[in-house]
Structure 1
Amino acid sequence: MFTQTTRRLSSAAALLRKSPAAAAPRPGVPRGGGGGGCQPRRSLNVSGRLPAKAAPRPAPRVPADIPGLERVTYGERMHFVPGLARPVFPRWERDYKDPMRYTSPPAEEMPLYRDKHCFVFQQRTSALEGVRQALWLTKTQLAGGGLPPRLLSLAQSAANRLPDQDERVQNAIRHARFWDTTEIQPRKDKYCSTLLRSLLHLCGSLQPSHPALRRRILAEKYTVVASWKRGEDLFQVRGQNGLLLSSADPLPTLAGTGEVAETAAHVLETFYPVSPAIDLQRINVYREENHTGFRKDYPYPHAHTVYFLEGGDGHPKLRPEQLRAKMIMFCFGNALARAHTLHGTQPQRVLDQPITVQAVGTNGRIFDFVVFQLNTTDLCDDEGVKNQVWVDQDAQLYDSAKIRPVMRKKEVQVPAGLSGYQPETFSKFLALYLNGAA
């Protein structure tokens, strides 16, 4: 039975192959393509992948206007025509003022345009030579040995210490790194700002024992402008430079009259052939002015301490050397703007009352401290009395703060939690805060 059925099927298939209707290709189906209108398969290359499609030909490059020849455009036809050039229409000048479509005039036509350019140090400037470049620009002598001992002795006194100081500082660190976030790894700009404000809150809790702390206030997003000349070049420091702690009383001077007179023998370091104005913004539209950022009747006119966050306020991240240079420049800018407000813009060889401004910079773990004393506003040449600055750099508040331990080869390399707390760093932070009030 099975053999007869097989023979019948074979004979039927032979008849179909011999019929002319089966031999003719069906409409819509390519020869050799199979049934159902399928396309023939593309052959594979040696690697077993389909060959890449050929890249589209680039559009022909249209030459610019050729002198003596007029381009034929489709402007008169009021619609696109293939083969004709695109017309160039004149700029439409509005008869009204649209702030969303404002275009500034050329710099040469602006009222504040000057032929002599000005070099500007702003919040985004990254000085190539770092602190050395800042010292030359501000005519300053760097005092070695970190912060002055008289300043550090403020926090060593038992009367100036916080109750349970170390425990409260460690809780502030844990709050910034662990408790104030739901992420596995909080962002640096977030925990830097949280830690700085927590430490300032701890320092402010000493107001009952130090009434002078009530004569201070914090200011944000203020703009300082200071102008001076070095040789034949004009320089400016301006921009928003972090969180400012201002006071109703000026900071006391750290260097006496004798120490200030000794700075006249100091020789400023040069870094030839590098230009001192390298990486500074060069502009020709400017106004030569000096302004502290506040009105004359502001009750807290004296800049006390400027706090810088690494990469904070949308500013680019700076290397430690460049961050310290920025701290020196803006301390100098605040002091110079205040000196010009008090004594006028006429250069003075030696100030009767030097102006002191402090700065603190941090990335959330490492702190830099700067104390700047402005002794002179005569900055044109390298002779005479110099300004002074004290720098304490790379002071670690703690070694690590991890939510999860760091494991390598089933061994704990960095434990979870806060480790390596160093109380000396907060003592320096507290000393700068208490300066002028203790």
Structure 2
Amino acid sequence: MAAAMLTHTVSAAGRSTGLRALSVSAGRCRNQKVPPRVRKEPVEIPGLEPITYVDRGYYVPWLARPRLTAWRVDWNPQFYHSPPAEEMELYKEEPSYVFNPKCRLLGGVKQALWLTKSKLIQGLPQRILNICEDPAFKFPNHEELVQNVIYNACLWSTTGKEQEREEYCPKLLQGLLHLCRVQNCTYPALSQRSFVENWRLATSWRKESTLYHVRGANGLLMSAKTPFEPLASSSEIEATQQHTLDSLYPLSPAIDLQEVNVYKERNDLGFRTGFPFFHPHTIYLTEPCSTKAKFLPDQLRAKMIMIAFGTAVAKAKDLYGENAKTLPQPIVVQSVSTDGQLFHFLVLQLNTLDLESNDGVKNIVWMDGDQALYDTVAAKATIKRKVVVVPAGLAGFKPETFVKFWAMYLNGAI
């Protein structure tokens, strides 16, 4: 009797274990992805023509599937299929590398300096610093006006939650530019300028037998009727021959650039013939807030160098020809970028177009980055453990950042 009960208990345990194993296996089967069904290719018999349902116009199970030619609609660009790259007219065996406004250089400023054959000088040129320090060019009542611009961009223009970067960043830049444009009556030369939004740039150059391009629609360009005067003297330009460009090893100089084989070497500054404001003055860039990955400050400064350099190269080729190497007069281009809080200021002087080797005269870049306009701005205070971490309103306002913004705007008009 005891043996029978033991046998029954073991058999019940075995059944429960088996059921548990089946349930686990069934769960695993439910979690596994079913592989897509692969359609078998029809068998072709030489000399026999398969009977298909193409004449009937509907599916018939016992008839073969017809092989129809691809439907082409040449008049509708939605159905256009580009030919292979090897069959295109502009295809070339030698690849080239394109920098567009969405490129985030892994090497940052160091990579941009190597690509543009430039020497970096920390700080702004002395000419701009003199404008900042001269009381005669002081912006009247600028602290209160700039604070109102910040409030309007970040808080006053919404009744709900705090705005996102893609909303308040361009509003802040436009508000600061509006303050500068108000001073046209005080400085008549400021009226000899024009703003071009989403202007397009196309230029190219060779560096160590590799072709590089700068293409795409950029931010806001302020152009003028007269060019900048050179910031560095001839002796300072000759002294750049002793400067050695930093090596990017083990990184490739073309990392994060788009490699293309279908291209055409173009040089277009984006201006039509007869445009009176033909000289680029300052390029205003905002951090591309619409992208998922935010630009790091070093990557944003590298973008400023590449776009300012491409603008200067396009202007130099337009003035002195496509094959010019030594420039009769250097070309100066300014750039200002912001992510809504930090501002970066850049001045680039193009001294040479002999960019294939790392020897000889270098171009000069003055950079003053990471200049905060304010610390925080919030609609409500953030309190943690009865301590105010972020106060309500504007905190940590730094008016000296706008003074540099105003000095670069005023440069060339006095």
- Asked if these proteins are the same fold (TM beyond 0.5), I'd say yes
Structure 1 residues 80 and 380, CA gap change in structure 2 (3 angstroms): same
8 Å CA contact retained: 1:124, 1:316: no
The match for 2:314 is 337
Cα contact 2:337–2:345 (8 A) shared by 1: yes
- Superposition pairs for residues 215-234 of structure 1, below 5 Å? 215-234=192-211
- For residue 361 of structure 2, the aligned residue among 375, 385, 391 is 385
Q: Secondary structure at the match of 2:93?
A: strand
Q: What is the identity, as a one-letter code, of the residue corresponding to 1:301?
A: F
For 1:396 and 1:318, the matched residues in 2 are separated by 16
Residue of structure 2 aligned with 1:92, choices 44, 68, 71: 71
- Closer, same or farther: CA 52–278 of 1 in aligned 2, 3 Å: closer
Deviation at 1:165, TM superposition (A): 1.2
**Corresponding position of 1:116:** 94
Aligned AA (2:404) = K
Query: Which of 203, 214, 218 matches 1:241?
Result: 218
Paired position in structure 1 for 2:177: 200
Query: What is the deviation of 1:211?
Result: 1.1
Deviation at 1:210, TM superposition (A): 1.2
| Cα distance, 1:154–1:119 mapped onto 2, change above 3 Å | same
Alignment check: 8 A CA contact 1:124 1:315 kept: no
Deviations 1:95-142 (Å, cap 9, x if unpaired)?
A: x52233222222122211111111101111111100010001001011
SS in 1 for 2:328: coil
Cα separation, 2, equivalents of 1:200 and 1:219? 13
Pairwise mapping of residues 342-421 of structure 1 onto structure 2 (< 5 A)?
A: 342-349=319-326, 351-421=327-397
One-letter amino acid of the counterpart of residue 305, structure 1: T
Match of 1:262 in 2: 239
Taking the TM superposition and a 5 Å limit, the aligned residue runs for 1:50-129 are 55=30, 58=34, 61-62=37-38, 65=41, 75=53, 78-81=57-60, 87-94=66-73, 97-129=75-107
Across the two proteins, how many residue pairs are aligned to each other?
A: 386
Q: 1:262 Cα shift?
A: 0.4
Q: Which secondary structure state, in structure 2, belongs to the residue aligned with residue 353 of structure 1?
A: strand
Taking structure 1 as the reference length, what is the TM-score of the superposition?
A: 0.82
SS at match of 1:133: helix
Q: Which residue among 147, 164, 172 is the counterpart of 2:149?
A: 172
Cα shift at 1:150: 2.4
**What is the CA-CA distance between 1:267 and the residue it aligns to?**
0.8
Query: What TM-score, normalized to structure 2?
Result: 0.87
Aligned identity (percent) is 45
Q: Go from structure 1 to structure 2 and tell me whether the alpha carbon gap of 1:248 and 1:161 turns closer, same or farther (over 3 Å shift).
A: same
1:142 and 2:142 are equivalent in the alignment: no
Q: Tell me the residue number matched to 2:109.
A: 131
The alignment yields a C-alpha RMSD, in angstroms, of: 2.5
SS in 1 for 2:132: helix
Partner of 1:422 in structure 2?
398
CA apart distance, 1:78: 4.5
Structure 1 residues 351-393: Cα deviation after superposition (integer angstroms, max 9, x where no partner): 2211011111101111011111000011111111000001111
1:203 deviates by 1.2
- Per the alignment, in what secondary structure is the counterpart of residue 429 of structure 1? helix
**Counterparts of 2:33 and 2:290, CA distance in 1:** 47
Task: Say which SS state the counterpart of residue 244 (structure 1) adopts.
Answer: strand
* Counterparts of residues 150-189 of structure 1 (less than 5 Å): 150-189=127-166
Give per-residue Cα distances to partners, 1:239-269, cap 9 Å, x unaligned. Answer: 1110111111111221111000000111111
* Amino acid in structure 2 at the alignment position of 1:157: D
Letter in 1 for 2:349: Q
Equivalent in the alignment of 1:21: none
Matching residue's letter, 2:99: F
Which secondary structure state, in structure 2, belongs to the residue aligned with residue 352 of structure 1? strand
Q: What SS does the aligned partner of 1:255 have?
A: coil
What do residues 318-345 of structure 1 show as CA deviations (whole Å, max 9, x unaligned)?
1111111010000000000000000001
Q: Supply the distance in 2 between the matched residues of 1:399 and 1:60 (Cα, whole angstroms).
A: 54
Do the aligned partners of 1:223 and 1:293 also contact (CA within 8 Å) in 2?
Answer: yes
Q: CA, structure 1 residues 57+404, in 2 after alignment: closer, same or farther (shift >3 Å)?
A: closer
Gaps spanning 5+ residues in structure 2: where? 1-19, 21-25
Distance 1:402-1:83 versus aligned 2 partners, 3 A rule: farther
Task: Choose 236-245 or 309-318, whichever is displaced more.
Answer: 309-318
Q: Secondary structure of the equivalent of 1:274?
A: coil
Name the counterpart of 1:9.
none
Give the Cα separation in 1 of the matches to 2:45 and 2:170. Answer: 64
Q: Look up the SS of the partner of 1:205 in the other structure.
A: helix
Pick closer, same or farther for the CA change 1:313–1:241 going to 2, 3 Å: farther
- Deviations 1:199-253, CA, capped at 9 Å, x for gaps: 1111122212211101111101111111110111111111111011111111122
Task: List per-residue Cα deviations over 1:13-53 (Å, max 9, x = no partner).
Answer: xxxxxxxxxxxxxxxxxxxxxxxxxxxxxxxx9xxxxx979
Matching residue's letter, 1:106: P
Tell me by how many angstroms 1:87 deviates.
4.5
Larger radius of gyration: 1
